[in-house]
Structure 1
Amino acid sequence: MKPGRADLIAIAVLITIVFTISAGCTGPAQQSQDSNAITEANESAANSSSLIFADPEFAFELRRTLGATYSGEADIGECLATASRIDEGDFESWYSEWKKTADAIRNAGDESLAAGHNVTAMEAYYRAATYYRTAEFFLHGNSTDPRIVETWEKSREAFRDALALDDVPYEIVEIPYENTTLPGYFYMVDDSGAPRPLLIIQTGFDGCQEELHPYAMEGIKRGYNVLTFEGPGQGEVIRVQHIPFRADWENVIEPVVDYALNRSDVDKDRIALWGISLGGYLAPRGAAYDPRITALIADGGTYDVGENLLRNLQEGGGEAANMTEEDLKEWLQTDPVEFNEAILEAMDNDTGTRWLNENGMFVFNVSTPAQFWAKWMDFSLAGIAENISCPTLVTAGAADHFDPDAEQAEELYDHLTCERELIIFSDEYGAGSHCQLGAFGQSFASKFDWLDEKMGMKG
């Protein structure tokens, strides 16, 4: 059925509200699933997370960058000084100020290196890599903007220059995938070549694998070798190879695990998979088809994009409330002009909606919001989650604006038939945000402790 004009506006507004699927505790380890606690955490987060920006999307991305200070890959003063110069909601201002900071820190690193101060140079390069990555974040409204690849390359170059000065053994790897390769980093506890449990970590809707370095270093501390990679729609794969996202992520995970099993320094009986943000859908999708995965973290859990959207439409009433998920998907596939106009209008009035749809069109390599949403609706674990056989941890944040009330995470958890655990982080100590960004101490403690238990890595 075709919705009327009023319903089109309602759908656009509801999509604006629900960009829940983007990508995506009274004490640090004791979590609550109580809905009142979640509501209170959402309210407190709204008052506490803005810091410099009132705009929620800018505030969240600043928090994300500040979170890198936990691993020494950003610094608080540099972040706050940069943010204070940015015009609220202005994507160009965001780019120019973060780029200016990145250039300054990169140059400082070069000077330190030339003077023989290798540690200082390494630290500066890690920070510069973070700031270049932050600068590039809002550029995706024009997929042909040359600054996207230029700035991403500067970020990767700074990161690799830092790695070359660091003392953790690593390899830059290429993972065979269909008729090309996927980029990856393989980090090693030591250079002995001894087989060790492997932790595979992947990002989601808007990340690059260099941002996963703090996770990898936490894994190294605990005795894991760590493999990070980028798949279709992510990092280098979308920016340089122009390969867009795909919903059937099992076809990505399979060659990644194949690659890992061909290495002599991997314990073939202990391979864990950790998916972050939209990786909370992608990793479970891969694990459902690959019994070689022995432990899984869905961080945060995502079950069904279309179902979540449809539920909100039904609650909104009107003629659109009678649409089925298939109706909605088929209608979006017609690329309706009215829908695109309504979404574009919403994008003009909301920074988060603008970013979501611009990035969505970029990573799916499509030209309209309707085309993006039609493809995104394929991202579903309905009838698939039950096939996951390994122990699984599903996480959520009580104040996560991408998954209000942890609905997606709880739905994934409810459909699992394997050994499972659900952790919902409250915001009492700042861990309620999306993927616990800005609270890595609590995040790593809970998630790695669970993983160590399942992988036999205690102590």
Structure 2
Amino acid sequence: MVAAIRQAEWHAQFPEDYRWSYNVMLVLAVIPSGGAEVGEVDRVCRRLAGHVGDDERWFREWRAMGDQVRALAEEARELGDRRAAMGHYRRATSYYFAAERFRFPKDDEALDAYRAMVDCFRLSAELDDRYRVEYVDVPYEDTALPGIFVSAARSPGERTPAVLFMSGFDGNKEHNWFLGVEDLLARGVSVLSLDSPGVGEAVRFRGVSLRHDYEVAGSAAADWLQGRDDVDPERIGVLALSLGGYYSSRSASMDPRFKACAAWGAIWDYHRVWSERIEAAFAKQLPVPGEHLVWSTGTGSTQEALQVLEGFRLADVVPRMKGAFLLVHGEDDQQVPVSDAHLLFEACGSPDKTLRIFTAEEGGAQHCQMDNLSIAVPEINRWLADRLGASATSSATSR
């Protein structure tokens, strides 16, 4: 039922604007994991009808819904209803996330909305007695990357496999939660969800820009995971989506400590992708406004940003990969062509590699399967748990 609603909404909402439609789909996609409510999303979309392309209106309406649902959370908390408050804070997280995505420049209003998103997720985690959520800093060069770690260990002294989970060009560690973190935990895999360079709090509040040599961040996370006494240092994997398909592929190719790598969306030549977008005056399908590129790379112009992207090519990198490799892509991905997935898969040097293309007939054909997460997430996480030798837990990890 929910999957059917998601698909219908994807085709019905803002058909003349891919970016707006795709971002509504991002919100609808997390309904099963408690990240949104279809009625609340529908109310926002009704208010936006007739204003397609007005990103200021988008910001105001989604932020207003975030404020409204956060107020519900605070009321429930005052009543002592922890469970209701947790659910409301979770949904507010998604609505603030949606609001801030299109806001450029990242002025005080934008950053305030982002802080509200971070705060709401933290409060939801504090109220969720099923998990022990740790907010952590992963040492990185002269600063640190903010992360959320949840252990799947069921008893003192147990060491579990762990996955470094990164988002992509425009996601964050909080949104990752709704994309399968709880499913990984149930399969006995601990998770470090990380705001990596150019992403989330790392770029907004710590000035850590996007970079091509992503193994610097990946290896820093591997160091941190290997330093924990509840993680098996020989069973570490990496998962990342969208542009994260580059992050994970490069990190696993350059650091053999990653025994399994899942690229949730293929990236082959990101410089070419953006060159084509710029040449088309940003008329091609984009998940966020074109300004995001200059901002996330910490540059002053699109041409300078393109210079940063010169290194975002995998042809000479992925032949080095030795660990297991899973590549997942949608046949109707409108941001990155499916042909790039075939190029990446063929070039990968892993002796254990799997290519999974989701079709329109089965669902999941859109970018990173946001049109049907319910079939994509179990496949990805089952593969990771299998390659990392995880033993599924019968119940969620408790505090």
Amino acid at match of 1:163: A
The superposition leaves residues 166-209 of structure 1 with CA deviations (integer Å, 9 ceiling, x where unpaired) of 02112111111111111011112256342111111001100111
CA contact under 8 A between 1:148 and 1:239: conserved in structure 2?
no
- 2:160 is aligned, of 177, 191, 196, to 196
User: What is the aligned length?
Assistant: 381
Shift of 1:220: 0.6
* Equivalent residue number for residue 45 of structure 2: 83
The superposition leaves residues 252-306 of structure 1 with CA deviations (integer Å, 9 ceiling, x where unpaired) of 1111100100100001111111011101001111111111111000111212223
- 1:268 is aligned, of 221, 233, 238, to 233
Q: Does 1:139 align with 2:94?
A: no
Distance 1:108 1:213, change over 3 A: same
The superposition leaves residues 12-59 of structure 1 with CA deviations (integer Å, 9 ceiling, x where unpaired) of xxxxxxxxxxxxxxxxxxxxxxxxxxxxxxxxx999833221211100
Distance 1:99 1:230, change over 3 A: same
CA contact under 8 A between 2:264 and 2:328: conserved in structure 1?
yes
Report matched runs for 1:39-438 at 5 Å.
Answer: 49-54=10-15, 55-86=17-48, 87-140=51-104, 142-143=105-106, 145-167=107-129, 168-190=131-153, 192-193=155-156, 194-214=158-178, 215-307=180-272, 346-347=281-282, 350=283, 352=285, 355-404=288-337, 406-418=338-350, 419-438=352-371
Shift of 1:81: 1.2
Considering Cα pairs closer than 8 Å and 6+ residues apart, tell me whether 1 or 2 has the greater RCO.
1
Gaps of 5+ in 1: 1-44, 314-338
The superposition leaves residues 324-381 of structure 1 with CA deviations (integer Å, 9 ceiling, x where unpaired) of xxxxxxxxxxxxxxx8xx77xx35xx49569442111110122322222222232011
In 1, Cα distance between equivalents of 2:68 and 2:7: 33
Shift of 1:309: 6.6
Shift of 1:126: 0.2
CA contact under 8 A between 1:172 and 1:185: conserved in structure 2?
yes
Runs of 4+ residues deviating >6 angstroms: 45-48
Name the TM-score, length of structure 2 as normaliser.
Answer: 0.90
Bigger Rg, structure 1 or 2: 1
CA contact under 8 A between 1:185 and 1:229: conserved in structure 2?
yes
Identity score, percent: 28
In 2, Cα distance between equivalents of 1:392 and 1:282: 13
* Equivalent residue number for residue 396 of structure 2: none
Amino acid at match of 2:110: I
Shift of 1:458: 6.1
Amino acid at match of 1:99: R
CA contact under 8 A between 2:261 and 2:326: conserved in structure 1?
yes
Name the TM-score, length of structure 1 as normaliser.
Answer: 0.79
Name the one with the larger helix percent: 1
Q: CA RMSD in A?
A: 2.3
Gaps of 5+ in 2: 1-5, 393-399
The superposition leaves residues 384-428 of structure 1 with CA deviations (integer Å, 9 ceiling, x where unpaired) of 101111010011101111112x12211110101211010000122
